[in-house]
């Protein structure tokens, strides 16, 4: 179970390491963060300078509950307060943000705030002229993320507690939208709130597997591209996945 290794079992899915008291120092985490960025570049996940700089700057360990903190840079999603909430594994962020082309000055909407880590990365990437809005449906998870972001001084992000499938029309249209939970269909309100020339990325359940799907909206049509297979927790709410 070394750093950089993807801990995934064909039958069990993600293999979560056991909870333990945190023992690593800030320096150790910094070294692991730098190693992780080198690993992500080496494996072709990470290409753009802005995403690289954000991943070097944001301390992922500060978005993880203490009993899982030492595993911050392992390629595995880790449990968060809330029902079935997880912080996605480190490579997920460039996996989503690179094809999305998330960049300086973008107005970005995230559905599924989780720990707040992806939100902090996005805030760094879009810069001061950009805007980040993130929506979380689970109240416990929302509060956890809100505190994490506040502790690190991120106070200029719009955080919304509610159903992200409905989007947040108040500041739409968005240049980029990212859904971090698996859906059966892309919620129509999100497609409406995406601007012309905008891109949306989401795990979509198709024929029993989850595909990471990228949509690009033009005046006349929406172009869809499948990037790869992924495994995410299901979307809840009005456009959620029924688990009956």
Ligand X SMILES: C[S@@+](CC[C@H](N)C(=O)[O-])C[C@H]1O[C@@H](n2cnc3c(N)ncnc32)[C@H](O)[C@@H]1O
State yes or no: residue 183 binds ligand X (CB under 6 A): no
Euclidean distance between CA atoms 236 and 159, whole angstroms: 18
Q: How far is the CB of 10 from ligand X (least distance, A)?
A: 20
Binding residue for ligand X (CB under 6 A) from 164, 167, 198, 203? 164
Q: Are 3 and 76 in contact (CB under 8 A)?
A: no
The helix (run of H) or strand (run of E) holding residue 94 is helix 92-100
Question: Which CB sits closer to ligand X, 17 or 139?
Answer: 139
**Total residues in contact with ligand X, by rule CB under 6 A:** 27
Positions of E strands within the chain:
8-9, 13-14, 78-79, 86-87, 107-111, 131-136, 158-161, 174-179, 194-206, 209-217, 222-230
State yes or no: residue 98 binds ligand X (CB under 6 A): no
Q: Find the part of the chain contacting ligand X (CB under 6 A) among 46-54, 129-137, 147-155, 190-198.
A: 129-137
Euclidean distance between CA atoms 141 and 164, whole angstroms: 14
Q: What's the maximum distance between 2 C-alpha atoms anywhere in the chain?
A: 55
Residues in the chain: 244
State yes or no: residue 180 binds ligand X (CB under 6 A): yes
Q: How far is the CB of 8 from ligand X (least distance, A)?
A: 15
Within residues 16-45, the interface with ligand X by CB under 6 A covers none
State yes or no: residue 233 binds ligand X (CB under 6 A): yes
Q: Find the part of the chain contacting ligand X (CB under 6 A) among 35-43, 110-118, 151-159, 194-202.
A: 110-118
State yes or no: residue 90 binds ligand X (CB under 6 A): no
Q: How far is the CB of 157 from ligand X (least distance, A)?
A: 13
Residue 58 corresponds to which tokens in the numbers above? 């944001």
Euclidean distance between CA atoms 57 and 102, whole angstroms: 17
x/- string (CB under 6 A) for ligand X, residues 139-158?
--x-----------------
Catalytic residue among 25, 88, 218, 242: 88
In our burial notation (b when 16+ CB lie closer than 10 A, e otherwise), range 52-89 reads bebbeebebbbbbeeebbbbbbbbbbbebebeebbbbb
Q: How far is the CB of 21 from ligand X (least distance, A)?
A: 22
Euclidean distance between CA atoms 177 and 22, whole angstroms: 34
Q: How far is the CB of 101 from ligand X (least distance, A)?
A: 18
Residue 72 corresponds to which tokens in the numbers above? 């911050």
Annotated catalytic, 172? no
State yes or no: residue 117 binds ligand X (CB under 6 A): yes
Residue 159 corresponds to which tokens in the numbers above? 């955080």
* Residue numbers at the binding site for ligand X (CB under 6 A): 82, 85-88, 111-112, 114-115, 117-118, 135-138, 141, 163-165, 180-181, 232-233, 235-237, 240
């Amino acid at each position: 179970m070394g750093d950089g290794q993807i801990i995934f079992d064909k039958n069990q899915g993600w293999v979560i390491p056991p909870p333990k008291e945190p023992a690593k120092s800030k320096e150790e985490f910094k070294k692991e963060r730098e190693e992780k960025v080198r690993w992500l570049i080496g494996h072709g996940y990470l290409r753009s300078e802005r995403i690289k700089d954000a991943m070097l700057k944001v301390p992922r360990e500060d978005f993880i509950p203490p009993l899982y903190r030492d595993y911050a840079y392992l390629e595995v999603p880790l449990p968060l307060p809330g029902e079935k909430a997880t912080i996605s594994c480190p490579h997920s962020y460039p996996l989503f943000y690179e094809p999305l082309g998330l960049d300086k000055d973008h107005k970005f909407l995230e559905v599924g705030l989780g720990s707040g880590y992806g939100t902090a990365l996005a805030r760094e990437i879009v810069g001061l002229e950009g805007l980040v809005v993130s929506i979380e449906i689970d109240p416990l998870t929302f509060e956890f993320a809100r505190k994490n972001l506040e502790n690190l001084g991120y106070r200029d992000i719009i955080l919304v507690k509610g159903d992200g499938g409905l989007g947040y029309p108040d500041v739409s249209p968005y240049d980029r939208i990212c859904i971090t939970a698996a859906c059966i269909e892309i919620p129509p309100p999100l497609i409406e709130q995406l601007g012309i020339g905008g891109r949306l990325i989401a795990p979509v359940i198709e024929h029993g597997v989850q595909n990471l799907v990228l949509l690009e909206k033009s005046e006349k049509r929406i172009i869809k591209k499948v990037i790869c297979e992924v495994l995410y927790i299901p979307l809840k709410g009005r456009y959620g996945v029924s688990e009956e």
